[in-house]
Amino acid sequence: MIDLMLFILIASFVSMSSKRPESYYSLDDFQKVKNIDTHTHHNSESMALADAAKASNFYLLTVSVDVPDYPSLEEQVRLALHQKAQNPDNIGFLSTISLKNWSDADWSMQEIERIKKTFDQGALGIKIWKNIGMTYLDENGQFIMANHPRLEPIFRFVQQEGKTLMAHLGEPRNCWLPIDEMTVNSDRSYFSRHPEYHMYLHPEFPSYEQQIDARDALLAKFPDLRFVGAHLGSLEWNVDELAMRLDRFPNMAVDMAARIGHLQFQSQQDRDRIRDFIIRYQDRLIYGTDLEISGEPDPEKVKSNAIATWQRDWKYLVSEEWMEAGDVNGKFQGLKLPKKVVDKIYYHNAVKWFQIDF
């Protein structure tokens, strides 16, 4: 009889617990919890962005990239180490590779040595960029894609070291459309300013599908490699397409950097679909912005822009208020995600996928 009563009490408690209402953050909670932005670029000795992060209870991951108008890769690492030395509790970094000496017989070993040095200096992983697939050609005059065999020793080394590979491969699908058919204003602006990367103008380059297929082949080849697809994995245009990849590749997570506008655009059409997607894949989505600081900027402008960006994204994810943003035309409603989902997106997933100590 006692055992039966105990069972009933336990069952009742479990039932009550499962029916507890979800808890949510408010707009005022923004600075009260630890948050991580895993996608920034500190190409400056200025501490303005780091100061904004400390004021907002943020940890920042600064990411090295082989971009033509960025500082050299060595200088990017130096700046990252400078930022980290001044802000040891709020800054981490990723290094990268160069394809400059691709034709050298020992190219992969050169790059592994470069990467190993940065790992010894504290790098949490590396990032590869869209110049793989969109710029560099191999010895046969073919585009070097993400699944090129000569890249495999590098990915294998990153995996063996227990580090993370972040990859910006391909571009938004808008990149293959005319400017007036693109879905968000940020893409219209970027590709108007960078026709060299506007693939609609370059039909001789690999297609969008080829870029995604090459990335998928890389993931299939390295199922144990901890992988973060930058910018929603270049599948920003359709959360169902992204869901298919997350289901197929358990080693894959994606950051939201510079692509929240695409989620907002889809929210205008079907808010519940976007909200349900984020809740379902709450363990695979990581917050990031692509905020950048370079040269000798105005510190106050850097701080105000960073904080405004973080607060705007927070409002979209935690509230159900109607909003407007520059990336999309017209209003959209915030998603009001449960607190436990927000905590994963802003903190726990970054800690897991990048091994961040914050």
pLDDT tens for 299-351 read 999 999 999 999 999 999 999 999 999 999 999 999 999 999 999 999 999 99
> Per the structure block, which two tokens stand in for 322?
């109607």
- For the chain, how are helix, strand and coil distributed in percent, rounded to 5? 50, 15, 35
> pLDDT digits over 191-215, tens only?
999 999 999 999 999 999 999 999 9
Short-list 237, 242, 255, 232, CA closest to 176:
237
- For residue 142, give the 3-state DSSP assignment: coil
DSSP state for residue 194 in the 8-state scheme: -
What count of other Cβ atoms lies within 10 Å of the Cβ of residue 285? Answer: 23
Domains of the chain: 35-354 (3.20.20.140)
249-269 residue pLDDT tens: 999 999 999 999 999 999 999
pTM of the model: 0.93
